[in-house]
Amino acid sequence: MAQSGISSSIPEVIQKFLVKDKVVVVTGGARGLGFSFALGLAQAGANIAAIDLDVAPGPHFERLSQCGGKHRYYRADVTNYEVLKATIDSIARDFGSIDGCIPAAGIIRDRPFLQHTPEDLIDTMNVNVIGVFLTVQLCAAKMSAQGTGGSVVCISSTAGHRSLFPQTISAYTASKYAVRGLVKQIASELAQHKIRVNSISPGVIKTDMLESVMQANPTRRKLFESSNAMQRLGNSEELVGMVLCLMSDASTFTTGQDFLVDGGQI
C-alpha cells in the first residue's frame, strides 16, 4: 500500500525506512524473534498480521496496540497447507492487502547426529523449510494478484553458513541452508512481480529457544558468548534494523541476498 500522511519535515532518506500502512504477515509472531520483528515494524508504522500456534498470544502482544496501527493474531500451523491458506486468505480480506512477509516460525532439535530421530528431521524440515515455502508462496500470490509488489524476509542462521560444532543441530543446520537456497531461487522468479526476497542470518541471539538449549547444557553459554568477535549474545532487537531496511523502500534494489547479523561470528 502507498505510504500516506508522512510529515514533510522528515528527511527523504528517513522516509524510505518507514513502512507506514504496509501490511506485514509474521509467522511465529506471538513470541521470540517473530514478535520482535512485529513490534519493530509496528513502531515504524506497519500493520501486523501475526500467525502462531498458541490459542492466544501472551499479554506482551498488546504492546502492538501502543504503536497506533492495526494488528491481529491468527492461530495456524504453518505446516498445514489448507489451514495456512485459509489464514492468509483471511488476512488479505481483513487488512485489504499483503505487502510484506516474514516467515519466522522455526524449531530446533539439539541432539547428536547419530541420535537424531526421523521425527526430529521431519519436524524440523516441516516447520523450518516447508512452512517457510508455503507461507511465502501464499503471501507472494496475494502480492502478485494485487500488482503492487512487496518484500519477503526469510530467517536463516549462521548455521546456514557453516558447521557450528560442537553444537549438535544437524537437522536445523540442513534446514537453514535450505532457506538460503530457497531465497536465491524464488527471488529470481518473483522479481518479475516486483516482489523482493531476502534473508537474514542471525548469530547467537537471546531467545526462549536458545535459553532452553543453554539450560539443558550450561557449558553452551560460554561457548555461545565466545563464538563471535563481540564476545556476547545478541538481542532480538538488534536484528530489527536489518529487517526494517529490507521490508522498506530503503532496499528497493536488493533481492536474493542473505545478511549476517552475528556479531562477527562468520
Burial zone of 124 (CB within 10 Å; 0-12 exposed, 13-18 middle, 19+ buried): buried
* CATH superfamily, region 12-204+236-261: NAD(P)-binding Rossmann-like Domain (3.40.50.720)
> How high is the pLDDT of residue 54?
92
User: Starting from the edge strand earliest in sequence, which strands make up the sheet with 47-52, in order?
Assistant: 71-75, 47-52, 23-27, 100-103, 150-155, 195-202, 258-261
Of 73, 74, 81, 172, the active-site residue reads 172
Q: How many CB atoms lie within 10 A of CB 248?
A: 23
> How high is the pLDDT of residue 208?
81
Residues 6+ apart with CB under 8 A from 174: 124, 125
Q: How far apart are CA 37 and CA 249, in angstroms?
A: 17
SS3 158: helix
Residue found under cell 547467537? 204
Q: How far apart are CA 81 and CA 187, in angstroms?
A: 22
> How high is the pLDDT of residue 44?
95
* Residue 172 bears catalytic tag: yes
CB 5 within 8 A of CB 20: yes
> How high is the pLDDT of residue 7?
57
> How high is the pLDDT of residue 6?
52
The type of residue at 59 is P
> How high is the pLDDT of residue 217?
82
> How high is the pLDDT of residue 220?
85
Q: How far apart are CA 47 and CA 68, in angstroms?
A: 9
Per-residue pLDDT of the chain (266 residues; tens, 9 = 90+): 444 445 568 899 999 999 999 999 999 999 999 999 999 999 999 999 999 999 999 999 999 999 999 999 999 999 999 999 999 999 999 999 999 999 999 999 999 999 999 999 999 999 999 999 999 999 999 999 999 999 999 999 999 999 999 889 999 999 999 999 999 999 999 999 999 999 999 999 998 878 887 888 888 889 999 999 999 999 999 999 999 999 999 999 999 999 999 999 99
Overall pTM surpassing 0.75 (yes/no): yes
Domains of the chain, residue spans: 12-204+236-261
* For residue 166, cis peptide bond before it (omega within 30 degrees of 0): yes
CB 34 within 8 A of CB 202: no
Q: Retrieve residue 134's grid coordinates.
A: 508455503
Strands 71-75 and 47-52: what pairing?
Answer: parallel
